[in-house]
Amino acid sequence: MKANRLMALGLAAVMTTGMLAGCGSSTSTTSSTATSEAATSEAATASTAATTSNGKGKVYLLNFKPETDEAWQDLAKTYTDQTGVEVNVLTAADGQYATTLQSEMAKTDAPTIFNIGSSTDAQTWDDYTLDLKDSEIYKHLTDKSLAVTYNGKIAGVANCFESYGIIYNKTILNAYAKLDGAKIKSADDIKDLDTLEAVADDIQARIDDVNTELSSEGSSFQITEAFASAGLDDGSSWRFSGHLANMPLYYEFKDDGLEDPTAGEAKITGKYLDNFKRVWDMYTRDSAADPKTLNSGALNAESEFGNGEAVFYQNGDWEYSALTSEDNGYLVTADDMDMMPIYFGVDDENEGLCVGTENHWSVNAKASADDQQASLDFLNWVITSDEGRKAMTETMGLTCPFDTFTGDYETQNVFAKTGSQLMADGKTSVAWAFNATPNVDDWRKDVVSALTAYTDGSGQWDAVKTAFVDGWANQWTLAHAEDATSSAS
């Protein structure tokens, strides 16, 4: 593949990563190993240092996350001290990973371990990705959907993940369950969209009864709604034009047999948009928010949930910190909260949370056999040793999708714990298919506009379908025409 095409695809991957909240995103602007001004020269130093061999093979890891540089440097030193295997780590500066990787891979002593974010990256670096299907890190992966599959091989294995779904207040739900005629006996009974919808509708109709029960139990929660407001302003609409929209995209891509749902396809039919409508109607029907004010910017769903005014709140595990922060003064505690899948009425029995990442370890297929084995051994040590697991979960603050991260090495984030447990129970995580959205800002803007009009009564649902389906095809054509132009330049 031409070098300029490699660069264009690499830069596109970085731009996509920058638009998404994920464990691959970073606000750091420097690292102790590389800065934007010195990344190339210091990379050369790291490559030179990596040429020393002790007969056991050597490891050269090109790290994606600047804020984890110190932790990786410490791990490299510890492993070398314990095994005698040389491990060198270079951390690319924030926003410079694609260009640093491009530069380093052109050198004689290239990285033996590097990061890919998606199947697009796997295509770009296909000749350089070793098939990891027999690796220990793949065997330990609790949810195989978190691997990047391309060209018939396991091109990358996720080393961290984030999850989103429907956050819920189990204390309130269990109080509701005590009411005569309640649709459930406990929060654990909600396992599909039919049940969720019945519960939400019933709670919305019995607000006073639920509050009476809460008061009798000495709870300070007093609800005003089943679902926290579904804001369609710029600060909230991504939850629906991105995260809820992921559901019909994922299931359609899955039906179409896409090897990687995050890669997307040129045309969609909107096969599951009726399911989207059903969930959206539930969100807005069973809420205290005026449908005509959803795009006003005056609503605060986090506060509504955090103060015990709402039972359900669609969002991700990144909300755990804000909801439990003493600075925010919310009434909910970690013990009150949990997360369930966004049940969609398609495969509810097997559905897990929406899980994704842009951090996948790949091993350089062009490295020597000794270096490949040394790299695989090092990564296995990272996910099995006390030192490695402590660094990943405590120092780096990551949630890791391996069966070795149990007990003391399990995340303390209750939402992430649920994601891990659902994986362990054999549930299928819903891939972040929205990563494939073409010209993401433009497509989402049109969807939000149509969704706003439908919800406030000034528009029809057909306009949402048009924005979703026709808009996708139009934006895909534009986006890939731009790719073609970049490739030819």
| Sequence spans of domains, the chain | 3-161+357-405, 163-355
Of 196, 210, 215, 385, the closest CA to residue 275 belongs to 196
The distance from CA 334 to its chain's CA centroid, rounded to whole angstroms, is 21
- pLDDT classification of 484: cutoffs 50, 70, 90: low
Please give the angle made by the CA atoms of 412, 414 and 420, to the nearest 5 degrees.
90
- Indicate the SS3 state at residue 49: helix
Pick the CATH number of 163-355 from 3.40.50, 2.10.110, 3.40.190, 1.10.1740: 3.40.190
486 compared with 397, residue with greater pLDDT: 397
- pLDDT classification of 54: cutoffs 50, 70, 90: low
- Pairwise CA distance, residues 487 & 484, whole Å: 5
Confidence at residue 41, expressed as pLDDT on a 0 to 100 scale:
36
Residue 142 has pLDDT above 60, yes or no: yes
Q: Residue 426: how many CB atoms within 10 A of its CB?
A: 10
Sheet of 59-63, strands arranged across? 87-91, 59-63, 113-116, 360-363, 153-158, 147-150
CATH 3.40.190.10 is right for the domain spanning 3-161+357-405? yes
Does residue 166 come out as left (phi exceeding 0), alpha (psi in the -120 to 50 range) or beta? Answer: beta
Q: Given this chain, do its domains 3-161+357-405 and 163-355 carry the same CATH topology?
A: yes
- The whole-number average pLDDT for the span 163-190 is 97
- The whole-number average pLDDT for the span 228-241 is 96
The 10s digit of each residue's pLDDT in 9-24 is 333 333 333 333 345 4
- Pairwise CA distance, residues 341 & 418, whole Å: 10
Token reading at 347: 């495969």
- Between 274-288, 334-348, 384-398, 470-484, the lowest mean confidence (pLDDT) is in 470-484
At 33, the amino acid letter reads: T
Confidence at residue 22, expressed as pLDDT on a 0 to 100 scale:
46
- Pairwise CA distance, residues 60 & 130, whole Å: 15
Confidence at residue 259, expressed as pLDDT on a 0 to 100 scale:
79
DSSP type of residue 93: P
Beta bridge partners of 213: none
- Between 57-61, 114-118, 347-351, 443-447, the lowest mean confidence (pLDDT) is in 114-118
- Pairwise CA distance, residues 349 & 347, whole Å: 6
